[in-house]
Structure 1
Amino acid sequence: MAAMESSIKANLVASVPDTSASQENMSQANWLLARGIKVKDRVRLAKLSHMRYQTPDLDALCDFMLNFGMVIAKRTENEVWFRGYGVDQYVYYATKGPKEFLGGVFAVDSKEEFEKALKVPGASRVQHLSEAPGGGQMVTIVDPDGFLFNVIFGQERREDASTAPAEKLRANYPNEKQRIRQFNRFEPGPAAVHKLGHFGYTTTRFEELLSFYTSHFNIVPTDLLYMENDGHRIDVTTFMHLDLGQSPTDHHSFFLGASQTGSHVHHCSFEVFDYDTQHLGHQWLASKGYRSVWGVGRHILGSQIFDYWWDPAGNMVEHYADGDLVNEDTPVGILPAGHESLAIWGPEVPLAFLQ
């Protein structure tokens, strides 16, 4: 039987206020208060800096990262630093050795905040990064699940950063034509990386890690996903941003997902310019024979266009574009967990991504 004309509605696309994006929410201030977090005692992280890994084959990693859209900032026999086109000296560091996750790195912008980080439980002695581009010093903190979490201070800003690798395209809509006598043209190649956007863990100690990071650092949930168990809600996933007051910051710089089978780093994600450069980058990586995990698609929480890949050592890395921005007035979204919360369009989520 043919569908009645009135029963089929066209899809709807809209940018909505953060206060109405979730059916249920609570203010960030009330969430912190309910958990008894002493805001002034937290280490104030200023930005996400770079990722650190140990990998068995630096040559294979270099080939992949160049095709992924990074540039080698410096390389020695046993170490390599990769940068994007933004202000960061590097966004990814790797040292040669058996596969190992060495943690994400956040930057602080004062000696006082760095000294506060030295007092966080699990903190190590200061490491001087004299060989790294931009220098600086770093403290590594072992969290309650054994993950390494790093804080850096004193790194010099890169002065030769570029604003964009491509021109901002003009779009022609049915009733709004911005591009007249101008034709869009594209050149194949990697999707140039701008900066590190986020990373996160799958953990068997979800609540403990949530408490640890939100108590010791200015990391707060943007969205909390829960499951029902005997009438009680149990938080199982959270996407978290840096609390920078009124200053806008990425929807999430850090995330946690609960697991009953084991703890491990899930993925790290790097921003690219726009959808077209991202999709061209997807085709480029595929043409080089690299293994896709999931993508291209559009997330619901965070709104990013996503594209996940395996690097040669089996670490998951992502390109993303067009993510949400939030600040201290953005309420914490509270919603049920489920596959349907992951993407609004794109391929079916693979099992490998959920593990």
Structure 2
Amino acid sequence: MSTLSIPANRGATMPDTEAMGKDQESQSSWLEKHQIDPNSRIRLQKLSHMRYQHPNLDEIHQFMLDFGLRVAHKTEGEVWYTGYGPDQYVYYARKGDKKFLGGVYEAASQEDFDRAAHLPNAGPVQELKDAPGGGRLVTITDPEGFPFNVIHGQEAVDMSQKQPAMDKVVLNFPSEKPRVRQFNRFEHGPAAVYKLGHFGLCTQQFESQLNFYTSTFNIIPTDFVYVEVDGHRTPVTVFMHLDLGTEPVDHHSFFLSAHPKAAHVHHSSFEVHDFDAQQLGHQWLVEKGYRPAWGVGRHVLGSQIFDYWWDVSGNMVEHYADGDLVNSETPIGYVPAGEDSLAVWGPKLPAEFLA
């Protein structure tokens, strides 16, 4: 019988420069290497909402309510769904054949919106007369044919009309127990969505797509995932964030993943309050009979606790909590591809997730 002990698992919170290891480079170095002038790009301020077309609005409507969204406005053929955060809405659904209508970013200024509207691959400017908060939207077609939207002029949200902020649950640890004579209690229901966090595309034109988004807009890589081919690194996934200087932003609001067989939207992801809210939301969706895609688990890159689902139209959507924040001083990391790069813990990755 061995007397050797087995090292226990552990977790730690550490600086980005340390967590990324030695395989990293500065954002300024990457931009210079790719001959991108940071000041020439169209500036986007934040990720606004997703746009999808669904064959059956009644079915997707019920799913969205069970997923934790609320109705901001509804017409006969359109629905705008909101969370409890500072956005007019985070999801737009329109009746019609199943179709991805693109993610939407808010332009940092009228000048930036006008520059987006004058791109060679931009469509006509739409006046969002029926949408909560109004505003104007332009749809740009990227090199692979995906729609990419920019919005501006939306009215600010009256937060007094929003759902109150969620309470913070106090946690006790073995050597630190602040919760004395205070008990944690929960109510069952959907996991209330706070905001849209990110979305991503599977692409057959990885390099041209990467160049288009990072040179046209203030979108910059946070992490590259690569495979080795004949001794050379080939990126297969890139997670990207908005470059807002030293202002903290989500680890990624957009990603690209190389896919040899087909180009399609992969998923869109929505932030929820915390782990308990997420688990209760998972339980709610299971009880309602919806089909899980992958989760619950914790990602490596971005650190988010994740929970992926298939909506009733066959689109993948995600709840996430506890994601990393970065800024212009965060280095770009390089990580070899493999299941170890996707999750620290959680269920085994289903093949369908990568299809």
Q: TM-score, normalised by structure 1?
A: 0.98
> What is the CA deviation profile of residues 10-34 of structure 1, one whole-angstrom value per residue up to 9, with x for unaligned ones?
1120011101112210000000000
2:187 aligned counterpart, secondary structure: coil
> What is the CA deviation profile of residues 78-109 of structure 1, one whole-angstrom value per residue up to 9, with x for unaligned ones?
00000000111100001100000000000013
Kindly provide the amino acid, as one letter, of the partner of residue 173 in structure 2.
Y
Q: 4+ runs of 1 displaced by more than 6 Å?
A: none
Kindly state the Cα deviation for residue 160 of structure 1 after the two structures are TM-superposed.
2.6
Q: For residues 88 and 125 of structure 2, what CA distance do their matches in structure 1 show?
A: 20
Kindly state the Cα deviation for residue 38 of structure 1 after the two structures are TM-superposed.
1.4
Residue of structure 2 in register with 1:123 after alignment: 122
Q: What runs of 5+ residues in structure 2 fail to find an aligned partner?
A: none
Residue of structure 1 in register with 2:292 after alignment: 292
Q: For residues 121 and 177 of structure 1, what CA distance do their matches in structure 2 show?
A: 59
Kindly provide the amino acid, as one letter, of the partner of residue 100 in structure 1.
K
Q: For residues 5 and 244 of structure 1, what CA distance do their matches in structure 2 show?
A: 50
Q: Percent identity?
A: 61
Q: For residues 173 and 55 of structure 2, what CA distance do their matches in structure 1 show?
A: 49
Q: How does 1:36-185 map to 2 (within 5 A)?
A: 36-160=35-159, 162=162, 165-185=165-185
Contact kept, 8 Å, 1:123 with 1:139, in 2: the verdict is yes
Q: What runs of 5+ residues in structure 1 fail to find an aligned partner?
A: none
Q: How many residues align?
A: 353
Residue of structure 2 in register with 1:21 after alignment: 19
Kindly state the Cα deviation for residue 252 of structure 1 after the two structures are TM-superposed.
0.2
Q: How does 1:196-275 map to 2 (within 5 A)?
A: 196-275=196-275
Kindly provide the amino acid, as one letter, of the partner of residue 10 in structure 2.
L
Kindly state the Cα deviation for residue 164 of structure 1 after the two structures are TM-superposed.
5.2
CA 1:280–1:3: 2 relative to 1, 3 Å: farther
2:212 aligned counterpart, secondary structure: helix
The answer as to 2:308 corresponding to 1:311 is no
Range that drifts further, 259-268 or 165-174 = 165-174
Kindly state the Cα deviation for residue 144 of structure 1 after the two structures are TM-superposed.
0.5
Q: For residues 68 and 335 of structure 1, what CA distance do their matches in structure 2 show?
A: 32
Kindly provide the amino acid, as one letter, of the partner of residue 257 in structure 2.
G
Contact kept, 8 Å, 1:275 with 1:321, in 2: the verdict is yes
CA 1:165–1:188: 2 relative to 1, 3 Å: farther
1:238 aligned counterpart, secondary structure: strand
1:37 aligned counterpart, secondary structure: coil
> What is the CA deviation profile of residues 199-248 of structure 1, one whole-angstrom value per residue up to 9, with x for unaligned ones?
00001001110000000000000001111111111111000000000100
Kindly provide the amino acid, as one letter, of the partner of residue 31 in structure 1.
W
The answer as to 2:346 corresponding to 1:346 is yes
Residue of structure 2 in register with 1:281 after alignment: 281
Q: For residues 264 and 2 of structure 2, what CA distance do their matches in structure 1 show?
A: 48
Kindly state the Cα deviation for residue 165 of structure 1 after the two structures are TM-superposed.
4.3
Kindly provide the amino acid, as one letter, of the partner of residue 98 in structure 2.
K
Q: For residues 282 and 158 of structure 1, what CA distance do their matches in structure 2 show?
A: 29
Kindly provide the amino acid, as one letter, of the partner of residue 132 in structure 1.
A
Kindly provide the amino acid, as one letter, of the partner of residue 50 in structure 1.
H
> What is the CA deviation profile of residues 47-97 of structure 1, one whole-angstrom value per residue up to 9, with x for unaligned ones?
000000000000011100000000011111100000000111100001100
Contact kept, 8 Å, 1:164 with 1:273, in 2: the verdict is no
Q: For residues 120 and 39 of structure 2, what CA distance do their matches in structure 1 show?
A: 17
Q: TM-score, normalised by structure 2?
A: 0.98
1:114 aligned counterpart, secondary structure: helix
Kindly provide the amino acid, as one letter, of the partner of residue 111 in structure 2.
E
Kindly state the Cα deviation for residue 116 of structure 1 after the two structures are TM-superposed.
1.4
Kindly state the Cα deviation for residue 250 of structure 1 after the two structures are TM-superposed.
0.1
Kindly state the Cα deviation for residue 3 of structure 1 after the two structures are TM-superposed.
4.2
Residue of structure 1 in register with 2:7 after alignment: 9
Q: How does 1:317-328 map to 2 (within 5 A)?
A: 317-328=317-328
Kindly provide the amino acid, as one letter, of the partner of residue 198 in structure 1.
H
